[in-house]
Amino acid sequence: MLLGLASCAETNLSSSDIYKIGCPAVDAAAGGGSAVSRVTVAGLKKLSESGKLDPEPQRWLDAVISMLDSEDPKNAPDDVQKLIKDGCAKNGHPLQNLDAA
């Protein structure tokens, strides 16, 4: 599912779709697994730059991108982690591997 994101970026994804894609990517990165696919991050960036998202999902997506682009995603600032965790939980995708307060 994550690998298909780049091609899906051209379609009309809903705000809930970004959580279906972003939350597993965050969980994988925070869990110390292999690096998140560059294709996934590129697709998320395309969605962010599309201008089609409402302010709340846009802010969440930008936080996810900054976390996935960082050297150590698990050590993202607490406010970024909280924003991401809250967004995932609110949209039915609670995270397993992110330990924000």
CA distance 88 to 99: 13
Q: What was the pLDDT predicted at 33? A: 56
Q: Is the Cβ–Cβ distance between 65 and 45 less than 8 Å?
A: yes
10 SS3 class: coil
The token duo for 101 is: 């307060």
Q: Could you list the mean pLDDT of each consecutive 10-residue stretch along the chain, which spans 101 residues?
A: 43 77 87 69 88 92 91 86 95 83 45
The token duo for 95 is: 């995270």
CA distance 46 to 14: 14
CA distance 74 to 67: 8
The token duo for 67 is: 């976390």
The token duo for 46 is: 């395309």
pTM of the model: 0.80
